[in-house]
Chains A and B, each alone.
Chain A
Amino acid sequence: MGIEALAESLGQNILTTTLGKLVGWGRGNSVWPAQFGLACCAIEMIATATAGVDIARFGSEAFRASPRQSDLMIVSGRVSQKMAPILRTVYDQMPEPKWVISMGACASTGGVFNNYALLQGVDKIVPVDVYIPGCPPRPEDLLNALMILQERIKAQGITPRQ
């Protein structure tokens, strides 16, 4: 069978791509966040999952209660010195590959609270992929961050973060 005949018989049913792109496509469209609400931003994170904004359109509605089933940690709110070791433990329990969104000013930099009690930015204990400004950010901002993260995951291929 000649190559033209093969192409004709398969028609529009086959795409050729690299394995990396395929894996990235799959991973990017099914990011499962860990259910990790901390403070004010957690309420907006819940609002992102409700019908008005609907994070399910981007394949991330499955908020997992166990870190072992999740790919993404949304640090939604201020991280106190007492919470920091627990946050790191939860992060360590997540399987690779994993990503972190730092949601809101408090998680990113400490926000308005420049004091003894808070970690001045969650990036001191876990690597952060996307930062969202705002106090708290709107649900749309979280969706935007998720889309940025998806683009990045899709570009990373099979072995992100070598």
Chain B
Amino acid sequence: MSTPEGVTISRTGEAGAFGGELLTVNFGPHHPSTHGVLRLIVDLDGEQVRSVKPVIGYLHTGIEKQMEALRWQQGVVVTDRHDYLSPPINNLAYALAVEKLLGVDVPPRANALRVIMSELTRLSSHLVWMGTSGLELGAMSMLMYCFRERDTILDMNEEISGFRMHTSYIRPGGVMADATPRFLEMLEAFIRAMPGHVDEYEELLTMNPIWRSRTIGIGRLSAEDAKVLGATGPMLRGSGVAWDLRRAIPYSGYEDYDFEVATSDLCDCYGRYLVRIKEMRESVKILRQALDRLPDGPVNVDDRKILPPPREELETSMEAVIHHFKLFTEGYSVPPGDVYVAVESGRGENGCYVVSDGTHKPRRVKFRSASFVNLQALERMALNHMIADMIAIIGTADAVLGDVDR
């Protein structure tokens, strides 16, 4: 590293365009506006950004190594924690990959519940994004409004899985448990109330002159650049490219739902904000359809080699006890091979590449995280902007550092 740890400002000796010297400023990793433990080394000409170099790894958790040491069904717990704003979507990517290797298909009710949890998660992820980005750009009340609805979603998570954030609800072979009647009631009430709440956020921000002047025209990323840089999610759709994995490569029955892919041609921070607002409305639409058409039936595959037998069976069947014992002492093994499955998270393409060597633990699990790739676009987006605008750009890139560093 050229800049030593602890030095926050140094002169480069190069002359800037405004008669001064270029300054190298160190942002972070402990900095209130960098959205997590992100460190940026910025070359400044006056207040203009001449170059940005993100330094990452401050939240490197060794998740991929950890998963190699855990059995297939234990790994679900770890997947929750890399992109900590969308745990069920991470579960889904991993579960789909393992299921594809095992060659099993989950029942329709499980698919519908997976869609419901994914959309709830997308909503809560966008809510956290909007709350914290609003806070960073001076709209403190956004935080209060957004976290109010987020808490409702977390209460629903708790009702269905027993855990607020890291639900581990979606597992290879199905889901953890069937939805309780109370969960469905809460979901119904939430679906009724949410469009009104989205209107509230729009009233607070969409025509807000401060918000508009801080985001319109800031952090431009053309459609061609976004594609070349591999950006996905609202970053790509905010540049006018209608690419959504739910539509392009459907999974978990997304092809049966009627929704629009939100895009914006503005290509700037404001465009990304509009995309997220639109996505929240579309998510509510998907939730409505999923709840109305929620099929009956089992929520797990009927395969004793993958999932434990139901509690009643344990009391009557010797075979069930053996399966139960085998599953919790040794786990199941997955046929050798490798597979890549991508799902659309709140941030973009959240993929899981799994390699099996035929044993009861994975040989390699690689998470293709949207934030890691999207953050690389920061260097291009922040160029020639004021340093204060960089905060808006980092904010709308919505990089979750746990996802970047894994």
The prevalent SS among residues of B at the interface is: loop
Q: In whole angstroms, what is the CA distance A129 to B58 when docked?
A: 24
A49 to B5, alpha carbons, bound, how many Å? 31
Query: Within 8 Å of chain B (Cβ to Cβ): is A108?
Result: no
Known: A51-B144, A112-B77, A117-B60. A46 touches B132 (CB 8 A): yes
Q: Which of A38, A52, A115 is the one whose CB lies under 8 Å from B59?
A: A38
Contact of A115 with B65 at beta-carbon distance under 8 Å, contacts A40-B166, A50-B147 already known: yes
- Interface range on chain B: under 10, 10 to 19, 20 to 34, or 35 or more? 35 or more
B36: nearest residue on chain A (CB-CB)? A37
CB pair A80–B29 under 8 Å, yes or no, is no
* With A86-B30, A89-B6, A135-B166 as contacts: A118 and B84 at CB distance below 8 Å: no
Question: What per-residue 1/0 map shows which CB atoms of A127-142 lie under 8 Å from chain B?
Answer: 0000000011010000
| A65 on interface, CB distance cutoff 8 Å | yes
A90 to B37, CA, bound (A): 13
* Set A40, A67, A116, A118: member contacting B165, Cβ < 8 A: A40
Asked whether A117 lies within 8 Å of B62 as measured between CB atoms, the reply is yes
Q: A101-115, CB under 8 A of B: which get 1 and which 0?
A: 000000000001111
The CA-CA distance from A39 to B29 in the complex, in Å, is 13
Give chain A's interface residue range (CB within 8 Å of chain B).
35 or more
Q: Enumerate A71-94 residues with CB–CB distance to B below 8 Å.
A: 77-78, 80-83, 85-86, 89-90
- On B, residues with C-beta under 8 Å from A are 5-6, 29-32, 36-37, 57-63, 65-66, 69, 77-78, 81, 84-85, 128, 131-132, 143-144, 147-148, 150-151, 164-166, 401-402, 405
Chain A contact residues, CB within 8 Å of chain B: 35-40, 42-44, 46-47, 49-52, 65, 67, 77-78, 80-83, 85-86, 89-90, 112-118, 135-136, 138
The 8 closest A-B pairs by CB, nearest first: A117-B62, A40-B84, A65-B32, A50-B147, A115-B62, A83-B58, A51-B144, A80-B60
